[in-house]
Amino acid sequence: MQSHDLARKTIWSAIYLLFILAPLFALLAGTLPPARGFGTEFSVALGYSGLAMMGLQFGLTARFRHVTEPWGEDVIYHFHRRVSLLAVGLVVVHPLILLAIGSDKLAMPASLGEVPWGAWFAVLSIGAVIVLVITALWRKQLKIPYELWHLSHIALALIAIFGGVLHMIGWGFYLADPLKRALWIGMTLFWIALLLYVRLFKPLFMLRRPYRITEVRSERGDTTTLVMQPDGHAGFRFKPGQFGWLTVWGSPFRITGHPFSFSSSAEAAQGRVEMTIRNLGDFTSQVKTIEAGQRVYLDGPYGAFTIGQPTDMHVLIAGGIGITPMMSMIRTLADRGDSRPLVLLYGGRNQDSLTFREELDALQARLDLRVVYVLAEPPEGWSGETGHINAAMFRRHLPPGYADHEYFICGPDPMMDAIERALGEMDVPRTRYHSERYSFV
């Protein structure tokens, strides 16, 4: 299985690089325009590559399962964020190099009316990417609601990309060659097709496969479980630990969906799916107001964060609402009568924040399961673990042979970073632990 995933990763990486490098190779093909200085050509190469990378972001966020499966959707989204910054950097550096070398391309005309229309689109594109980066990196500091940010993010990306394409057409230095013009026309049509798939064809498919809320259940820790049944179809099968995108109010054509892990067993009957959602503000604060009978839409399943073949022991490490994919794993193994040994280390602020606490205590009778609660604010008389999960705690609760166990980690980013460092201290190989970082933005 690992070799199969490696082959798929290699193939998709090669395809991605091909789309990025194709514009550069195209510069050297066909009829070549008059030679210019190295600085000018280097600047143009960066601009072309940056524009190609920006266009491909539509593909990274299109949720093609065959593409995302080997890595996991969370990894793809984090890659999308980082490669977007690189693409923006290339696009912004493009005119800065021309400015640094004193290129006559940036010479100001006598009046604004004499500015080439391609130059106006360059200003529009660069302005859009600067605003896009600022709002993406500092959304929370600027107090921009997630739904508004998501809509503006898409609009700014479209302005930046198609402004860049129009700038390139307006300048026309390399696009005079028919082959190069055909390449960019083809790539632009491909980006448009990706956008149509995400915003038209996929929502049409989801519209025919709605779900109904059958129960809204309050849980510990200001958390709510939504129980959903397929409405007029068989639903989908998922692997324990995977997640889906939920649209509650409105149709699947609505711009913003919200990703949540499935908390139910993968063996649940009649396609039933549960999502357990903690109130963290924005959309999540309204979840408890949802009523049974409401129609919703699910896009899934996604994610590579799931249990595989049995090893000598599975170690599940959860912090806060990161318990939801672990709960799906535990419930699924219980329903399957799986006998593999499990240890769950579950960190929370206090006892009231431990969602599923009573059910976890009961499940220890159905499975070879040991639950270790770790509290940051323990009550008086608490005899369990306190503070933060670390290497010393692992050594207290896990049998030797730490490098042979399989570890699954989900929770806030600082906690996950600390856990991964602790596993490194214990010489656990990277292939033995799996992380899901559920903050996509």
Q: What residue spans define the domains of the chain?
A: 2-206, 211-302, 314-436
- Alpha carbon distance 427, 357 (integer Å): 31
Tens of pLDDT along the chain (441 residues) come to: 455 667 878 888 888 888 778 777 776 666 666 667 778 878 888 888 888 888 888 777 777 777 777 777 777 877 888 888 888 888 888 888 888 887 766 655 656 666 677 788 888 988 998 898 888 888 888 888 877 888 888 888 889 888 888 888 877 666 667 777 777 788 888 888 888 888 888 889 999 999 999 999 999 999 999 999 999 999 999 999 999 999 998 888 877 788 899 999 999 999 999 999 999 887 888 999 999 999 999 998 988 888 876 666 799 999 999 999 999 999 999 999 988 899 999 999 999 999 999 999 999 999 999 999 999 999 998 999 999 999 999 999 999 889 989 999 999 888 999 999 999 999 999 888 888 776 555
Q: Is the dihedral of CA 157, 161, 164, 166 positive or negative?
A: negative
Residues paired with 406 in a beta bridge: 314
| Short-list 134, 162, 148, CA closest to 54 | 162
For the chain, the straight-line distance linking the first and the last C-alpha, in angstroms and rounded, comes to 30
Classify the phi-psi angles of 81: left when phi > 0, otherwise alpha if psi is within -120 to 50, otherwise beta: alpha
31/162 Cα distance (integer angstroms): 25
The β-bridge partners of 244 are 260
Domain covering 211-302, topology: Elongation Factor Tu (Ef-tu); domain 3 (2.40.30)
What CATH number belongs to 314-436? 3.40.50.80
Among residues 276, 267, 279, 250, the alpha carbon closest in space to that of 307 is found at: 267
Tokens of 97: 């190099």
Contact 220, 355 (CB under 8 A): yes
- Whole-model pTM: value is 0.81
Distance of CA 429 to the CA centre of its chain: 24
Instruction: Supply the DSSP string of 268-290, one letter for each residue.
Output: -GGG-EEEEEE--SGGGGGGGG-
